[in-house]
Chains A and B, each alone.
Chain A
Amino acid sequence: MKSKFTIFALITFALLSWGLYEALIGAPTEATMGPVQRIFYYHVPCAWVMELCFPANFLLSIAYLIWRKPEIDALAVSTAEVGVVFCTIVLLTGPIWGKPVWGIWWTWDARLTSTLVLWLIYVSYLILRKFSIGGPNAVLAASLAIFGCLDAVFVFMAIRWFRTQHPKPVFGGGADSGIDPRMLQAFFVNMAAFTALGILLVWLRFVLERTRQKVEEAHAMKALGATR
């Protein structure tokens, strides 16, 4: 298990290094936006990882409420934490890219707002986990996650329908026709690299959480004075 992890970590590191090279040097500078456009190679992959983590947490929360297995909860908390980290990066890199290129830090369009709301919901999820007294953390947090993810869907729809009077600059993708193949390469390498990083971090956090759970269980068995 440990060797698998090490190999995967090395692959991730290799991908990230390659991605870094491609993003900063390999890919040509974008004609209109200039060097700041390179943030795109980080912003979009991070958003992608976040979009894997949060729905995963939603499914895991449902699964936990049905089966109540500690492994499921460990995976749930891992995806939530990693998701929040990547979501934070998305929310920080977006405005950094947006301001020089489009002249605005922020706009309340559907994608941005639902990303922000998801961030708020999952931060409150993590706070709830910290603040629960005694045992029920996992159950309460799982219930919150279900509410939260359903809510995010509503947020997305709400903004699309109710904020049409505001201008909506198109983010995400930079999908102009005739995109330079070196840019595409940089993009895909970084997508792979960040996905690998996301998986690695979730894996690591999962192992940490399982270890903590097992230690608690060992203490509990000791307290029970059981010999089996």
Chain B
Amino acid sequence: MTSTDNPGFVVSLREVSKLYGRFAALRNVTADFAAGKLYLILGENGAGKSTLLRVIAGLIRPTRGQLEVLGSKDIRSIGSQFGYMAHASMLYEELSGMENLQYFARLYGISDPAICEHAIRTVGLDPSLARRAGQYSQGMKQRMSLARAILNDPKLLLLDEPFSNVDVTSAREMARLLGEMRDHGRTIFLVTHQPALLERIADESVWMSAGEIILREHGVSAEAIASGVTPVQRRSDAP
């Protein structure tokens, strides 16, 4: 299971499980994800979507199974090549947006403030804003967090509910931006409860339920947008 066998796969999972005591957040997940696509991770609450992203990001170690990300089994070693964003803002409240980004940029070995400014502008915010991040609106926090995630120009982007509490205009803007990044060859994993935003942009919908991937389908189905219900449930409900 090396990248020479599967040169196109940016993420490969084999029998990955995560147990918390008796609760299985992920159950024997086996999947390959090709590069250069935007994957929507969908499913009900508690399905394991966030856990999956955190396992790929290396924040959680799987109880069982192996995974390979960007050709490496040791996720710590490819830290400079991916970005992660979650519901928590991952920003210091007492620092301004620019100060936050400059600190994190230095952790990645980036010392040029222009890169931070560019990232902030890309998400539609003003780099010269001196306001502390703690005083941002939720939408601004999400966007600044996204700016932090794309600072190091990552090949792989893992986003956990980036649009929650973001106004529609900003959300559409972010979605368009993500589509552009995908067009430039980046791979994006996006957990969301608002698939409509990515309707014409997402390459694949990955449905999860009870810790497993139950369905992968092309694009975003109309029923998913309309009802938000997992396709398997829909099919079993059908008369």
Contact = CB atoms under 8 A, between A and B. Distances in A.
Interface residues of A, number: 9
Contacts of B27: 223-225
A137 to B, nearest CB: 11
Contacts of B19: 220, 223-224
A216 interface: yes
A134 B22 contact: no
B28 interface: yes
A134 B28 contact: no
A226 interface: yes
A225 B20 CA distance: 15
Contacts, number: 28
B12 interface: no
B28 A226 contact: yes
Interface residues on B, range: 10 to 19
Contacts of A216: 21-22
Nearest to A220: B19
Interface in B54-106: 63-64
Contacts of B21: 134-135, 216, 219-220
6 tightest CB-CB pairs across the interface, nearest first? A223-B24, A219-B22, A220-B19, A224-B27, A224-B24, A224-B17
26 contacts: A134-B20, A134-B21, A135-B20, A135-B21, A216-B21, A216-B22, A219-B21, A219-B22, A220-B19, A220-B21, A220-B22, A220-B24, A220-B63, A223-B19, A223-B23, A223-B24, A223-B27, A224-B17, A224-B19, A224-B24, A224-B27, A224-B28, A224-B64, A225-B24, A225-B27, A225-B28
